[in-house]
Amino acid sequence: MSRIRVDIGVCTYRRPELEQTLRSLGHLAVPDDVQIRIIVADNDDTPSAKARVDALRGSVQHEIIYVHCPSSNISIARNACLDNATGDFLAFIDDDETASGDWIAQLVQTAKATAADAVLGPVKATYGTDAPSWMQRGDFHSTFPVWVGGRIITGYTCNVLLRLAAPSLAGRRFNLALGRSGGEDTEFFTHMHRMGGKIAYAPAAWVEEPVPAKRAAFSWLAKRKFRFGQTHGRLIDAGTGAPGKIRALALAAAKSGFCALASVILFFSPVHRNRYALRASMHAGVVVGLLGVREIEQYGATEARSS
């Protein structure tokens, strides 16, 4: 019986946490019918991660392919993983995440059971002691799929398995114009779904992500939500005419206003107040995206400078 070949793409940019990520992949409980290969796509100007990857080859049981794909644009790195993948599936995990022992087994099992083109898993955030208490209680950084009408219509790359032979993925690549702002994965999966691609969810295929101090702030969350809204607004605009755009603008503006008002009313309940305030920021981003303003730059060189 032929084995299922799974490539695991890890896009990296100057993160020492990459070592912990690769070690977690080395400890995966891999089913007998699955073969793993790891692709590390280094998005730095210089091949800064190569020495770290080479040092780990002897302690990680799976083959590791190192690809230098400069620079400072996450879409370039994601596309490098797609271009170098030779397996039946390609999984993505971030370079600051650690995989649970049966991560790949759960993703593959769900892919078999559902015949989905993509399978998402949850990302569980872990907070340091310096994170605000409201943030920890509300768990604002964990990532889960969003269902619309009983379906998942978009996705993310921090925990996903792609069926590379799926027609909805044929020739599909991540948008380079969004490689520094973020939103390239939302656009990728939205278009995949519009082409008939099915997205499933494997709730037990979890990975864990620590929240660094610079991200444990309301301002970072608000900026992220605003950018997410911009991407969503742009995708709505691309799929509708002028009357639909006007309706979407009015609806997004109304939602933003309602959520802002709710956050004021709930001022003395920090978790609910901030959740509504962040939703207000997201809907404001939708308005801006519908008006044609491109996404704010958030990652790559910009993130490195801010740190």
Residues 6+ apart with CB under 8 A from 226: 281, 282, 284, 285, 288, 296
Residue of higher predicted confidence among 303 and 180 = 180
- Structure token pair of residue 5: 């070949």
CA distances from 275 to 127, 139, 196, 260, 263 (A): 17, 10, 33, 10, 8
Over residues 10-32, the pLDDT tens digits come to 999 999 999 999 999 999 999 99
Share of the chain above pLDDT 90, in %: 90
Read off the pLDDT band of 301 (50, 70, 90): very low
The residues pairing with 34 across neighbouring beta strands, listed in sequence order, are 4
Residue of higher predicted confidence among 84 and 239 = 84
pLDDT higher than 60, residue 306: no
Q: Average pLDDT for residues 192-199, to the nearest whole number?
A: 97
pLDDT higher than 90, residue 240: no
Read off the pLDDT band of 242 (50, 70, 90): confident
Residues 6+ apart with CB under 8 A from 176: 73, 75, 76, 79
- CA 183 vs. chain centroid, Å, equals 9
Q: Find out whether the peptide bond into 2 is cis, omega within 30 degrees of 0.
A: no
- Structure token pair of residue 290: 């519908």
Read off the pLDDT band of 1 (50, 70, 90): low
Read off the pLDDT band of 292 (50, 70, 90): confident
Confidence at residue 60, expressed as pLDDT on a 0 to 100 scale: 96
CA distances from 187 to 181, 199, 231, 257, 297 (A): 12, 14, 7, 26, 16
Q: What structural domains and CATH numbers belong to the chain?
A: 4-215 (3.90.550.10), 218-306 (no CATH)
Q: pTM, whole model, 2 decimals?
A: 0.93
Confidence at residue 305, expressed as pLDDT on a 0 to 100 scale: 38
Separation between Cα atoms, residue 201 and residue 230, nearest integer Å: 25
Confidence at residue 237, expressed as pLDDT on a 0 to 100 scale: 82
Cβ-in-10-Å burial (0-12, 13-18, 19+) of 151 comes to exposed
Separation between Cα atoms, residue 198 and residue 118, nearest integer Å: 7
Over residues 116-175, the pLDDT tens digits come to 999 999 999 999 999 999 999 999 999 999 999 999 999 999 999 999 999 999 999 999
Q: What backbone torsions phi and psi does residue 265 show, to the nearest 5 degrees?
A: -60, -35
Read off the pLDDT band of 296 (50, 70, 90): low
pLDDT higher than 70, residue 299: no
Q: Average pLDDT for residues 30-36, to the nearest whole number?
A: 97
CA distances from 129 to 101, 148, 270 (A): 26, 35, 18
pLDDT higher than 80, residue 302: no
Share of the chain above pLDDT 70, in %: 95
